[in-house]
Amino acid sequence: MDGLNLGPPAGDLPEVLIRIARMEKRNRFASLIGPPGLYLILIFLLPIGVMFVYSFRAGISGPAHDSFTLANYQSFLVNSNFHRLLWRSAIISFTISVLSTLMAYPLAYYLVFRAGPNRVTLMTLLIIPTWTSYLLRIFSWKLILGSSGVLNSLLLSLGLIEKASPILIYSRGAVIVTLIYVWVPFVALPIFAALERIDKSLLEAAADLGCPAWEAFLRITLPLSLPGILAGFFFALIPTLGEFVTPLLVGGASGSMYGNLIQDQFMRALNWPMGSVMSMAMLVAVLLLIFILTRLGSIADLAGF
Amino acid sequence: MTDTAVEIRNVTKVYSSKRGKRSEEVQAVREMNLSIPRGKFFTLLGPSGCGKTTTLRLIAGFETPTTGEVFIQDKAMSKVSPNQRPVNTVFQNYALFPHMNVARNVAFGLEIKRVPKAERERLVGEALELVKLADMCDRKPSQLSGGQQQRVALARALVNRPAVLLLDEPLGALDLKLRKAMQIELKHIQEQVGITFVYVTHDQEEALTMSDLIAVMKDGLIQQLGDPVTLYKTPTNQFVADFIGESNFIKGKVDLLGEGKARIMIGGEQVEVSSGEGNLMAGQAITLTIRPEKIDLSRQGTGGLSGTVQDRVYIGTDTRYIVALHSSETVIVRVQNGCDSEAGEFAKGERVTVRWRPEDARMLMD
Amino acid sequence: MSKLKLPSLGSIYFLAVCTLLYLPITLLIIFSFNNSTTLVFPLKGFTLQWYGQLFENRELLKAVGNSLMIGVGSSLAATILGTMGAIAIVRFRLPGRSVFLAVAALPLVIPYVILGVSLLILFNEVGIPLSAFAAGLAHVIISIPYAMLIVASRLVGFPDNLEEAAMDLGASYWSALLRVTIPICSPALLAAFLLCFTMSFDEYAIASFLVGTDATLPVYLYSQLRFPTRLPMVVTLAAILMTITMAVMLISEWLRRAGQTSGRKAQK
């Protein structure tokens, strides 16, 4: 024990050390979320804020630029064309999301319950092509289904039809079918994850208690996969609201959506303030939907379906 | 009503799995013939991999026999799916439905049978009373302790009044004290309700505590079937003797045969044992088995086997001695502490004499 | 004796969906070798001329260059920022964590049109010209959530006191991150980079607002769609792009998966 310095009296030591440790932790945490946080603020949140301010301006340049007016909001609220298009887009998006979810569920169910040990590989197989540019995939479907396209030429050369017909192009239905085609694998993924997580012994227990297979699905599997269904549904619904590329490619006149309206204001009409108002309206709708999703998520957990 | 709850006739269950190019075959259950009587607490006992859980699942219907037939209440079950069988299972991991509260979990089987609401609530209440969880009916499984979850699983199964209740190592996840308390409670419930219980465990003490009948299994075969006392006192082979309780196995040679008794030579010394069943010949090599608590230790003297104390361990109620015999084998001896025997305590290295009553030792043929 | 297994309804459905998914790219690849300027059956002979023409197209090559630049640049930035964010949310439980997580995850669900136009306004106000660089800045935003997710799921699989162990042995916190945490995450980092690159490379909506005259590949492609004579080139280009993307994604997935299993082993 000679010469050993045992340090300051035990009383003060622990508290000081704890405080230093905590401060260090906070500094490290701040340094870590600092750069990404700053970037997100500058390039993500700030632009949205600026857009909000812009919605009150009269114009892009000159004195109109620095004005403040509610005229844009007034004309937005008054213009029934805008409302109609917004409503139409909402219906289209909702339809697409519902149908995509309905079509994706059997896929995920098959993979988890029937496909055996290869299911993750098969799921990946399903997902990989969806990561390619959807611009290209839609474009290629246009080529395939168009009047001078692959399908028509195939049918013509096989003698099955007499004249090329522009099936499925330039219509609202084309937009819906195309987007369903794009979304189904994406929606299948969270459903797949949720179904995977279900403890299979629960289904054995249900059978043990006299439950036939279809009823076990309704009472056990479906409720427990609900979080995945909701996630997939909203993950498809929300971006689709702002969709404009697909309508440009296959929508024609009747398939135009709200996103096209916004794009038009910014690229052609150059009425940026008006476009900002429209974007803000969409943003509010999106945030509302996200809010609903988070509420539904916790209700699904609590309600014990 | 039949006296046999479950009958297993000539059942073999083979699993084949493909590993690369080879396919492996595992015989989980081999040529099993078993009759489980009605209203008894029946246990399948054995080490892991012996086929006891497979047998249970064959009764439940989650596995189908490769050959043979399972009968429940004298009805063949080969075409009957699990949800149609008059059995219910208490699963090892409880398998409680996480999105339903306790009451709905217990009511599940009744809801499937479309039992009307009032009746359902009454039955659920009774079942929860039986397992002493009446005030937990609104809780979710995640809010319950392991022991409580186990009892909900029990109530959920019992409320359906199955002909047979299957229990797959239900107490495995509980701590020792709780497990011992639940063993007694399960036994009481079974006696109260009168349903046939088929219980699976690897814990021989648990089996001895609760069961009316035990089937000891190894490698897919039943080694011995009997009540606890019979299995403990008269094991028919080395595996059963070793698996149930603690046993000593001593090798020796038959020296002399008398009426009901035999003299065995062990390492130059003689002991007497009861000859039991089986044909014995002089000069035959046999294995003796005797329980540690049946061995008498005394200071060096005449008769019995001589040996040296190698180790001693104090275990509260007993002291456990490891004695090396002259024949270079070791035996385990349990001496109750606080006993008034003239032996007292023995130190390491002390020379002792090992003795037993002839009828306490048994001879094994294998 | 084995039973003859009839394909189940589920497997037929799955097969049908897979066929539909892979059909466009298969047809594109077939027609990129077809000696004709229209996409019609019957096929008219094998040719590589369209591939050859691609290399002579200066506009196209410039667009490829832009896309590569933006792709590499934005992915690098997103991977770095995403990794920092991932470490922060996995290893720390401090106030601000959930807010940060929410904001970082938000770009996943905000429609690209809003991201595009809001940046258009901001860049105009601040004086940043519309260019490949501008699009690249935007691509970082859409990539950060994915990078964070991939790295975080890898981190979660490892014991949470590895940095402490390194510091106990004398390293500073940042040194511990560089010597221990980052190397552990390297498969995830690579997977994240590849995924972000793929997303940026194929992205059209936001780029259409922000690139100005520096067309990226998707923007260039879109501009060519209304010229029927350019069809073979477009088809060939599309075939190449989709093949590359799928190959890159396969590698990225394989890396991510390999990373997760070794992580699970480490936890034991």
Instruction: Report the pLDDT value the prediction gives residue B40, as an integer from 0 to 100.
Output: 94
Q: How far apart are the C-alpha atoms of B193 and A155, rounded to whole Å?
A: 73
Which among A37, A110, A266 is the nearest to C10, CB-wise?
Answer: A110
Instruction: Report the pLDDT value the prediction gives residue A6, as an integer from 0 to 100.
Output: 54
CATH C-level class of B248-364: mainly beta
State pLDDT tens for residues B213-267.
999 999 999 999 999 999 988 888 889 988 988 888 888 888 887 777 788 888 7
Residue C205: pLDDT band by 50, 70, 90 thresholds?
very high
Instruction: Report the pLDDT value the prediction gives residue A38, as an integer from 0 to 100.
Output: 95
DSSP-derived 3-state class of residue B352: strand
Q: How many residues does chain A have?
A: 305
Cβ C191 vs Cβ C150: under 8 Å: yes
pLDDT averaged over chain C? 85
Instruction: Report the pLDDT value the prediction gives residue A235, as an integer from 0 to 100.
Output: 87
Q: What percent of chain B has pLDDT over 90?
A: 42
The CA-to-CA distance between both ends of chain A, in Å, stands at 67
Q: Which residue is closest to C142 within chain A, CA to CA? A: A44
Instruction: Report the pLDDT value the prediction gives residue A283, as an integer from 0 to 100.
Output: 93
C250/A26 touch (CB, cutoff 8 Å), yes or no: no
Contacts of C103 in chain A (CB under 8 A): 37, 40, 44-45
Question: Looking at residues B42-63, what average pLDDT do you find?
Answer: 92
Q: Which residue is closest to C95 within chain A, CA to CA? A: A26
Q: How far apart are the C-alpha atoms of C86 and A237, rounded to whole Å?
A: 27
| B144 backbone dihedrals φ, ψ, rounded to 5° | -110, 155
Find the domain containing C137 and state its range.
58-267
Instruction: Report the pLDDT value the prediction gives residue A305, as an integer from 0 to 100.
Output: 38
Residue B89: pLDDT band by 50, 70, 90 thresholds?
very high
Q: Tokens in use for B30?
A: 């081999």
Instruction: Report the pLDDT value the prediction gives residue B137, as an integer from 0 to 100.
Output: 87
Chain mean position to CA B334: 22
Q: How far apart are the C-alpha atoms of A149 and A158, rounded to whole Å?
A: 14
Fold of A73-303: MetI-like fold (1.10.3720)
Tell whether C96 lies on the interface with A, counting CB pairs under 8 A.
yes
CATH number for position C169: 1.10.3720.10
**Taking Cα atoms as reference points, which of A169, A151, A147 lies closest to residue C24?**
A151
Tell whether C37 lies on the interface with A, counting CB pairs under 8 A.
no
DSSP-derived 3-state class of residue B257: strand
Instruction: Report the pLDDT value the prediction gives residue C268, as an integer from 0 to 100.
Output: 45
Domain count of the fold of chain C: 1
Q: How far apart are the C-alpha atoms of B299 and C163, rounded to whole Å?
A: 63
B140/A304 touch (CB, cutoff 8 Å), yes or no: yes
State pLDDT tens for residues C98-155.
899 999 999 988 999 999 999 999 999 898 999 999 999 999 999 999 999 999 988 8
Looking at the complex, report in whole angstroms how far the Cα of residue C100 sits from the nearest Cα belonging to chain A: 7
Looking at the complex, report in whole angstroms how far the Cα of residue C184 sits from the nearest Cα belonging to chain A: 18
pLDDT averaged over chain B? 87
Looking at the complex, report in whole angstroms how far the Cα of residue C148 sits from the nearest Cα belonging to chain A: 10
Asked, for residue C158, whether it belongs to a domain, the answer is: yes
Residue A92: pLDDT band by 50, 70, 90 thresholds?
very high
Whether the pLDDT of residue B275 is over 80: the answer is no
State pLDDT tens for residues C211-267.
988 899 889 888 888 777 777 888 888 888 888 888 888 888 888 887 776 655 555
Question: Which residue, among A31, A125, A136, A262, would best test binding to C if mutated, counting the most C CBs under 10 Å from its CB?
Answer: A136
Residue C170: pLDDT band by 50, 70, 90 thresholds?
confident
Q: Between C80 and B289, whose confidence is greater?
A: C80
Most confident of A63-72, A262-271, B300-309: A262-271
Laid out side by side, the sheet with B285-290 consists of B269-274, B261-266, B248-257, B285-290, B362-364
Instruction: Report the pLDDT value the prediction gives residue A3, as an integer from 0 to 100.
Output: 45
A210/B112 touch (CB, cutoff 8 Å), yes or no: yes
Give domain limits for chain B: 4-243, 248-364
Question: Looking at residues A248-272, what average pLDDT do you find?
Answer: 86
- The strand pairing partners of B299, in sequence order, are B352
Q: How far apart are the C-alpha atoms of A272 and A261, rounded to whole Å?
A: 12
Instruction: Report the pLDDT value the prediction gives residue C118, as an integer from 0 to 100.
Output: 94
Residue A1: pLDDT band by 50, 70, 90 thresholds?
very low
Residue A163: pLDDT band by 50, 70, 90 thresholds?
low
A304/B88 touch (CB, cutoff 8 Å), yes or no: no
State pLDDT tens for residues A164-222.
555 556 788 888 888 998 899 999 999 999 999 899 999 999 999 999 999 999 999 99
Which CA distances in Å does A292 have to A267, A299, B67, C74, C126? 32, 10, 56, 32, 35
pLDDT averaged over chain A? 84
Q: Tokens in use for A150?
A: 């692959």
Q: How far apart are the C-alpha atoms of B183 and B199, rounded to whole Å?
A: 11
CATH C-level class of B4-243: alpha beta
Instruction: Report the pLDDT value the prediction gives residue C1, as an integer from 0 to 100.
Output: 41
State pLDDT tens for residues B90-145.
998 899 998 889 999 999 999 989 999 999 999 999 999 999 998 988 999 999 99
Instruction: Report the pLDDT value the prediction gives residue C262, as an integer from 0 to 100.
Output: 64
Longest Cα–Cα distance in chain B: 78
Whether the pLDDT of residue A87 is over 60: the answer is yes
State pLDDT tens for residues B333-348.
888 877 655 556 788 8
B95/A224 touch (CB, cutoff 8 Å), yes or no: no
Instruction: Report the pLDDT value the prediction gives residue C87, as an integer from 0 to 100.
Output: 93
A201/B84 touch (CB, cutoff 8 Å), yes or no: no
B91/A205 touch (CB, cutoff 8 Å), yes or no: yes
Question: Looking at residues C178-194, what average pLDDT do you find?
Answer: 89
- The strand pairing partners of A145, in sequence order, are none
DSSP-derived secondary structure letter, A10:
T
A32/C120 touch (CB, cutoff 8 Å), yes or no: no
Give domain limits for chain A: 1-54, 73-303
Instruction: Report the pLDDT value the prediction gives residue A300, as an integer from 0 to 100.
Output: 58
Instruction: Report the pLDDT value the prediction gives residue A304, as an integer from 0 to 100.
Output: 42
DSSP-derived 3-state class of residue A197: helix
The CA-to-CA distance between both ends of chain C, in Å, stands at 41
Q: How far apart are the C-alpha atoms of B128 and B108, rounded to whole Å?
A: 14
Q: Between C137 and A72, whose confidence is greater?
A: C137
